[in-house]
Structure 1
Amino acid sequence: MKILLTGGTGFIGSRLVKHLQFSHELTILSRNPIRAYQKLGHNLLAIPSLKDLNNLNEYDAVINLAGEPIANKRWTEQQKKRICDSRWALTERLVELFEQSEQAPETFISGSAIGYYGEQGQQALDETSIIEDDSFPHQVCKTWEQIALKAANEHTRVCVLRTGVVIGIEGGALAKMLPAFRLGLGGPVADGQQQMSWIHISDMVDAIIFLLNNQQCHGAYNLTSPNPVTNQQFSQALSKQLKRPCLFRAPAWVLNTAMGEMASLITGGQKVLPKRLSGEGFNFRYKELDHAFKEILLRR
């Protein structure tokens, strides 16, 4: 299969490349092709932009994982625009290329996040949940999904990845948390009762490959473990695995002062269940958080 992949040098993308590059023909979109080759190897083609493509006739599938990290910087109006443009504009361009293709790829897998669900407290959510929310994460994801779904037609199926907190040693939230927790300075945020819908990086990659290979799959999918936990449970499980105390608590007001609106990503939460993935036959390797932490940290 010939696959065009955006976001291939990121946390999720680089792990996905390792699983696909020897069984498929990969083209990676990267602003820095030299860096992409250094990180991913030379068993692929790296291109700097989509400007030179007039269509997608030569590809069987497109996987779109690119986007400015949503939690790296305070949400100024300029940063919000950067977050939106990095998702919406690139996806719009890919949809244009689908429309310009005489023989468009059969599969389009495009990113999203569980931020789509906004802050719903302890309510269990799945892909059928009706969401009315005016938060920034919801608006980002809702528009991103709507753009991607425009590529759907009789020939092309579209799968949207509503991704939870991806845990792995190479990047993501866990990599940022580990230094404090290793020093025994980690702990819950706010009251610790906000829900965390997480997924092991290996299950994340396996799920993308599952959607790539199963032609009956289309529409939105929650990429989260079947067993979400509270922020306190997450903190305690990580501390236990590291054999460190879990004593310190970060008050909500401190985060709100330091991070502004972006603090809602940490102080809020969603209890998201992978109803469609499980119902269509995907098997999670890491259903329980303790098992996931043990594999990640012992392998490290």
Structure 2
Amino acid sequence: MKIVIAGGSGFVGQKLTDTLLNEGHEIIILSRKDSKIDGNIKYVKWLQEDTYPENEIISADAFVNLAGVSINEGRWTAEHRKQIYASRMEATDELLRIISALQTKPAVLVNASAIGIYPTSEDNVYTEESLDYADDFLGQTVTDWEKKAVSVESEGIRVAFMRFGVILGIDGGALPLMVLPYKLFAGGPVGTGNQWVSWVHIEDVAHAIAFTLSNPQVYGPVNVTSPFPKRMKYFGKTIGSVLHRPHWIPVPSFIMKIVLGKKSSLVLEGQHVLPEKLLNNGFKFHFPTLESALNDLYKKDV
């Protein structure tokens, strides 16, 4: 397939690009830098004045939208939250414009999303059938993002929303910060420890997107999380076990709120989310258990 990726230089985008290239697909990455061809990847300039990416794309089988300011970087100041929200709306608007301008439409748009659309809870279990949505900053951002992207269905294009959980990788995401205290022999329970961590290995994220691109029966919300989410206290103990470090120094909630501000909700609160749609359609996780995921990521450190 000929696949256009917005946000291809990011944490997920780089892994996805490598995965799709290995599968033999043709890749076009929308970039703010000048258009060029680098090996098997074509970079096309976008989101700049007087740029018309559709003239260089001409046609494509699929679009993947991963564009947006990272929620993991920096404190959630009012300005940063505005950037997180606006960057997603702006990029999606432009992507929809490009698709509309193409004479030959893609078959599918896979749009990034997040399990933050679900309310935090220590008791509820969320699947793609769940319609209880959060009304906080992250919940509203994700809801508006999905509502904007789904409009492309009017052009006969299949749309899938990849609701990412906590993505585990050593080159980005939340895991390096979560692991750092353990490497310093200062790891321990965070907050109450009862909050859920619905996690997923970065490799499974890339393969889940590739799977969705190739399977027309997969559409709408798609939870991209391991089948076995864990509570934070178990998550921390497993990090300690894999790295052969103690799990003993508690980190009170008020400390996390001082250090991270409003972003502390990402580690102090959580959702118990299950990937029913992927499992029901035959997707196989490479790293279904937390132990297997962490051992793979930190095999060089142990």
TM-score under structure 2 length normalisation: 0.92
Q: Distance in 2 between matches of 1:264 and 1:168?
A: 20
Segment of structure 1 superposing worse, 11-20 or 192-201: 11-20
Structure 1 residue 177 displacement after superposition: 2.5
Structure 1 residue 178 displacement after superposition: 2.7
Segment of structure 1 superposing worse, 8-17 or 136-145: 8-17
- Residue equivalent to 2:247: 246
Structure 1 residue 155 displacement after superposition: 3.1
Structure 1 residue 54 displacement after superposition: 4.2
CA contact (8 A) 1:122 1:195 kept: no
Structure 1 residue 175 displacement after superposition: 2.0
- Residue equivalent to 2:41: 44
Structure 1 residue 185 displacement after superposition: 1.3
Question: 1:3 is paired with a residue of what secondary structure?
Answer: strand
Following superposition of structure 1 onto structure 2, how do residues 256-271 of structure 1 map, counting pairs within 5 Å?
A: 256-271=257-272
- Residue equivalent to 1:105: 106
> For structure 2, which runs of at least 5 residues remain unmatched after alignment?
none
Q: Distance in 2 between matches of 1:186 and 1:69?
A: 25
Rate the CA distance shift 1:286–1:135 in 2: closer, same or farther, 3 A.
same
Question: 1:21 is paired with a residue of what secondary structure?
Answer: helix
- Residue equivalent to 2:17: 17
Q: Distance in 1 between matches of 2:134 and 2:21?
A: 39
- Residue equivalent to 2:78: 77
Structure 1 residue 18 displacement after superposition: 1.0
Rate the CA distance shift 1:101–1:46 in 2: closer, same or farther, 3 A.
closer
CA contact (8 A) 1:57 1:104 kept: no
Structure 1 residue 296 displacement after superposition: 1.5
> For structure 1, which runs of at least 5 residues remain unmatched after alignment?
none
Following superposition of structure 1 onto structure 2, how do residues 277-288 of structure 1 map, counting pairs within 5 Å?
A: 277-288=278-289
* Alignment deviations for residues 120-142 of structure 1 (CA, whole Å, 9 cap, x no partner): 22211111112243210100100
Q: Distance in 2 between matches of 1:256 and 1:19?
A: 37
List structure 1 segments (4+ residues) > 6 angstroms apart after TM superposition: none
Question: 1:152 is paired with a residue of what secondary structure?
Answer: helix
* Alignment deviations for residues 215-271 of structure 1 (CA, whole Å, 9 cap, x no partner): 121111000001000111110001000000011121111122232222111111000
Q: Distance in 1 between matches of 2:32 and 2:99?
A: 21
Q: Distance in 2 between matches of 1:134 and 1:269?
A: 14
TM-score under structure 1 length normalisation: 0.93
Question: 1:83 is paired with a residue of what secondary structure?
Answer: helix
Q: Distance in 2 between matches of 1:71 and 1:144?
A: 18
Structure 1 residue 182 displacement after superposition: 1.4
Question: 2:174 is paired with a residue of what secondary structure?
Answer: helix
Following superposition of structure 1 onto structure 2, how do residues 190-269 of structure 1 map, counting pairs within 5 Å?
A: 190-269=191-270
Matched residue count: 296
Tell me the amino acid that sits aligned with residue 44 of structure 1: I
Following superposition of structure 1 onto structure 2, how do residues 166-205 of structure 1 map, counting pairs within 5 Å?
A: 166-205=167-206
What fraction of aligned residue pairs are identical, expressed as a percent? Answer: 35
Q: Distance in 2 between matches of 1:291 and 1:76?
A: 36
CA contact (8 A) 2:228 2:289 kept: yes
Rate the CA distance shift 1:299–1:203 in 2: closer, same or farther, 3 A.
farther
Q: Distance in 1 between matches of 2:147 and 2:246?
A: 44
Supply the RMSD in Å over aligned alpha carbons: 1.9
Q: Distance in 2 between matches of 1:273 and 1:145?
A: 19
Q: Distance in 1 between matches of 2:31 and 2:218?
A: 28
Following superposition of structure 1 onto structure 2, how do residues 98-177 of structure 1 map, counting pairs within 5 Å?
A: 98-153=99-154, 155-177=156-178
